[in-house]
Amino acid sequence: MALTGLQIFKLLPNTNCKKCGCPTCLAFAMKLAAGKESLDKCPDASPEAQAALGAASAPPIRAVTIGHGERAITVGEETVFFRHEKTFVHRPGFFRVLDASTPASAIEDRLTDWSAIRIDRAGEVFRVDGIAVVESPGSPEFAPAAAQAAAAHGLPVAILAATTKGAAAAAEPIKDRRPLIVPPAGADPGPFVALAARLGAALVVSGADLDSLAAAAADAARAGVADILLEPPGDDLATLHKHLTLVRRGALERIHPGLAYPVFLRVGAGEFSKAVVGTSTFASIMAVADSGGETWMPLWTLRQNIYTDPQQPLRMDPGIYAIGEPTGASPLLVTTNFSLTYFTVSTELDGVGVACYLAVVDAEGLSVLTAWSAGKFSGDRVGKALRELKAAEHVSHRTIIIPGYVAVISGELEDALGDGWQVLTGPQEASDIGPFFRDVWETARPK
């Protein structure tokens, strides 16, 4: 928590020597508290004052980096509780669990497949962010082999350890790749702390409650571990959510230095809801046991939603937007300037792969049906807007595709546009645009 002016004042020499340019130490303290001055200006400030002010201005949640090189992932450094306050800083990393039951011969294939995944969605690339290798005393060769293979693919590695010895064997060879060591639940943290400190690796600490969690992190920091993640307790979702919430709140309120770290979660097979709650509620690294796309697609997408800029306007600027590289013969569609509508339609058009123009007209940020019933998407209004946007200069034809929900405006729009314009009624739902292009546009298109 930031210090108050009076708290800072108590740390100053109280000589009122004016060397800082302020008439009194108190005046200077008030400016410091308001962030309008810097402590350097007081030449007599004690080391204690510097330390206290420095700690108060450090980020409430430390940055932690796992991995090395292009695919290294940094988490932490969050500054707010609600996403509407300010964009969340670092998207959480989703690590795929590579189980010790994987035959040695299959490790390479699996890693090749996983590291090659790239899904482009709305300006973001979805990838597997890292590999969580399971260490199993029953197959001591597995974890070191898998960890090295994953590191060789450039992927960040977490080691879900069973024993200190096994964790050391897996982490040591890749120690310059900043691995993350995750001790088993309930283990004595001491040997793992020593291992992480010795290797310079990142470490997950846990605790049965908030107190012991914070204490464990503080102990690990004191023992020389720089990169720490917190694994909050909670066997059921309510308890987990409570601790996720309290860790974030405690960190932001700076109530204990042991809470100033990002959060780690393990998500077992079939624990989809836990992964969802973790993604929306402050988890920073998750090791996800399920590897199927039916789990990863929604998680990636949810992460994309939660971590976007909350200031993105709900209304688009009216205009003619090019999708792909359209030519004069490409389709021309029109919709409202409600950004959800625009986003749904443009994402779909992108996906369909037909280059076209999408005219976005000012309908006061309402969706198609709402806009129409409020008189903001009438034939007259749309026609006038299209003329203002000079739609006719973009295409060589005179066909405009309107949303299926407003088929009724066809006649009025044709009248409003005049000049031989024809209205083609498109589908009601954006998801039907593909079939529409194939079945309707291909036959109706102006030749």
Residue ranges in 43-62 that form contacts with ligand SF4 under rule CB under 6 A: 44
What is the nearest approach in angstroms of other proteins to the Cβ of residue 101? 18
Long-range CB contacts (< 8 A, 24+ apart) of 232-239? 232/206, 232/263, 232/265, 233/206, 233/207, 233/208, 233/209, 237/273, 237/274, 237/277
Task: From the list ligand SF4, other proteins, none, pick the one residue 22 interacts with, judged by a Cβ distance below 5 to 8 Å according to partner type.
Answer: ligand SF4
Contacts with other proteins by CB under 8 A: the residue count is 70
Stretch that binds ligand SF4, among 12-20, 166-174, 264-272, 389-397 (CB under 6 A): 12-20
Binding mask 21-40 for ligand SF4 (x = CB under 6 A): -x--x--x------------
Task: From the list other proteins, ligand SF4, none, pick the one residue 17 interacts with, judged by a Cβ distance below 5 to 8 Å according to partner type.
Answer: ligand SF4
Residue ranges in 368-397 that form contacts with other proteins under rule CB under 8 A: 369-370, 372-374
Does 94 sit near other proteins (CB under 8 A)?
no
Can you tell me the distance from the alpha carbon of 239 to that of 180, in angstroms, rounded to the nearest whole number? 25
Does 17 sit near ligand SF4 (CB under 6 A)?
yes
Task: From the list other proteins, ligand SF4, none, pick the one residue 173 interacts with, judged by a Cβ distance below 5 to 8 Å according to partner type.
Answer: none
Residue ranges in 262-291 that form contacts with other proteins under rule CB under 8 A: 272-273, 276-277, 280-281
Does 6 sit near ligand SF4 (CB under 6 A)?
no
Does 297 sit near other proteins (CB under 8 A)?
yes
Binding mask 394-433 for other proteins (x = CB under 8 A): ----------xx-x--------------------xxxx--
Does 211 sit near other proteins (CB under 8 A)?
yes
Does 438 sit near ligand SF4 (CB under 6 A)?
no
Residue ranges in 160-189 that form contacts with ligand SF4 under rule CB under 6 A: none
What is the nearest approach in angstroms of ligand SF4 to the Cβ of residue 111? 58
Task: From the list ligand SF4, other proteins, none, pick the one residue 302 interacts with, judged by a Cβ distance below 5 to 8 Å according to partner type.
Answer: other proteins
Task: List the one residue from 10, 41, 71, 83 that touches other proteins (CB under 8 A).
Answer: 83
Cα within 13 Å of Cα(136), Cβ side: 13
Question: In this structure, are residues 244 and 275 in contact, taking their beta carbons and an 8 Å threshold?
Answer: no
Binding site for other proteins (CB under 8 A): 82-84, 113, 117, 119, 121-122, 210-211, 214, 236-239, 241-242, 245-246, 249-250, 253, 255-256, 259, 272-273, 276-277, 280-281, 292-299, 301-302, 304-306, 308, 310, 314, 338-340, 343-344, 347-348, 351, 365-367, 369-370, 372-374, 404-405, 407, 428-431
Binding site for ligand SF4 (CB under 6 A): 12-13, 15-20, 22, 25, 28, 42, 44
